[in-house]
Structure formats: C-alpha cells, structure tokens
Amino acid sequence: MLVLQSILPLFLLFSSTNAFYGHGTLKCQFTSNHDLVYLEQVYFNKRLMVQYNSTLGKYEGYTKKAKDLADGFSKSKPFLKQAVRNREKCRTHMDLVFELQSHPVEPSVRLTPVVRQGSSHQAMLACSAYNFYPKQIRLTWLRNGEKVINYVTSTEELPDGNWLYQIHSYLEYTPSPGEEITCMVEHASLKEPKLYNWEPTFGAVRNKIAVGTALLFGSFVFVAGLFFYKRTTA
C-alpha cells in the first residue's frame, strides 16, 4: 500500500498544567489505479476524532462532540468541494508515483572519513548513497580489489520521505600506504557496478593545484585581453 501524506498545520493548545497536541493529516492510499482512497484525519492527543473518507464521501466523528463537528463538515459545501478537489490532486500524484516507479533513479555517492573514539582500528570510512530508487541496493567495500567482509556495518535503506532512499555503509580499517579502498555500488539504475575510490589527502591537494592553475590562467587571459583591447582601441 502506498501512502502519500502531508501534514496539516500542527496545533498545540496549552492549559495551565498540560499541553494538548492536535494534528491533522491528508493521505492518498492506493495500490493501483483503481483503489484510490483520499483521507483527511484530525487527531487530538493521538486519538482519531474526525475523518473524511473519499469512498464514503463524508466526514465521520468518533466521539459525541466530534460527531456533531463531522456532521457540520459534511453539510458544508465548501468543505466537501475542497475534499473532492484534493482527491483529484491525489490522482495526479498517483500517476507521478507510478511514473517514478518505472524509472530507477541513480544514487549520488559520497565517501567520507568518520571520526570515532574507542575503536580498535585507526580509521573509519562511510560510503553514503543518496536519493536512489528503487530501495534495493548493494554497497560493497573493496581493499586492493578484494572484497572486505569483516568490520563492515550498514544502516538499512532509509526512506527520505520523497520516494527516494539513502543508505550508509561503514568500514573500519587500519590504513596502510599505497592501498586502494573502494566502495562498489550495485543498483537497478546502473548497468554495471560503479566504483568509488577513497582518495585521502591527494584529492584536496590536487583540487588546490587545479584551482591555482585556473586562477593563474584566468589572470593571464585577462591581462592579455586588456593589452589587446588597448592596442585595438588606441
């Protein structure tokens, strides 16, 4: 079952001793094109008080007071009209979801060092994959091309709340010179496994050199351009 959910403005009511917590949700529930249900639900202190169910086409209350309120809503043309309009919006979103489901979305992957205390190893790396779809993914650590199995931990695939997922895999290791640490990513969006190599300090140094070179070249072009401009306008 798919549920698209948006939260209505939250409201808090305070009395002198307690805080009461109310919240409302709008939900689209569906498994296919044919069973869409649009729900509006209002809770008070976690208890469902009033609900609009598009299959019934009216509001229902679940306490005596809420029943009166719900009957009032159900008699209100603007309320019902808005609910029908929202249900139409659900339909549109539903198509978007099915569209998304038929196209895998490639993860963006980052390797980062993790600073930790009390580990028997000297270093820890995180391989993080963000914004991918579908959920199924495999991250594998390689050391000099060999699979590493020990000292690897991973989170579950975590929903981002927008139909996309993220996952984080951690490798504890003792660095040694000249080694190559790689995070290999396998996912439906990729024709073949994609490799991401960990480049400790070299990356930073190389970037600085590249920026420096670009600045130098830019200045050169600017001065040359100025010179040329002066000559042609003189």
Ligand X SMILES: *[C@@H]1O[C@H](CO)[C@@H](O)[C@H](O)[C@H]1NC(C)=O
What is the binding site for ligand X (CB under 6 A)?
Answer: 37, 39, 53, 55-56
Closer Cβ to ligand X, 25 or 53, answer by number: 53
Distance (Å, rounded) from C-alpha 52 to C-alpha 82? 11
Tell me how far, at minimum, the Cβ of 185 lies from ligand X, in Å: 38
Closer Cβ to ligand X, 55 or 144, answer by number: 55
Tell me how far, at minimum, the Cβ of 62 lies from ligand X, in Å: 11
Tell me how far, at minimum, the Cβ of 66 lies from ligand X, in Å: 15
Distance (Å, rounded) from C-alpha 26 to C-alpha 40? 5
Closer Cβ to ligand X, 3 or 13, answer by number: 3
Task: Return the number of other C-beta atoms located less than 10 Å from residue 29's C-beta.
Answer: 16
Number of residues written out for the chain = 234
Q: Check: CB of residue 132 under 8 Å from CB of residue 187.
A: yes
Distance (Å, rounded) from C-alpha 38 to C-alpha 26? 7
Distance (Å, rounded) from C-alpha 166 to C-alpha 232? 57
Sheet with strand 194-197: strands edge to edge? 146-148, 137-143, 181-187, 194-197
Tell me how far, at minimum, the Cβ of 41 lies from ligand X, in Å: 8
Closer Cβ to ligand X, 56 or 221, answer by number: 56
Task: Return the number of other C-beta atoms located less than 10 Å from residue 39's C-beta.
Answer: 20
Tell me how far, at minimum, the Cβ of 42 lies from ligand X, in Å: 14
Tell me how far, at minimum, the Cβ of 30 lies from ligand X, in Å: 12
- Burial letters 81-110, b for 16+ CB under 10 A, else e: eebeebbeebeeebeeeeeeeeeebebebe
Closer Cβ to ligand X, 56 or 215, answer by number: 56
Closer Cβ to ligand X, 87 or 187, answer by number: 87
* Residue 75 in tokens: 């008699």
* Residue 14 in tokens: 């305070």
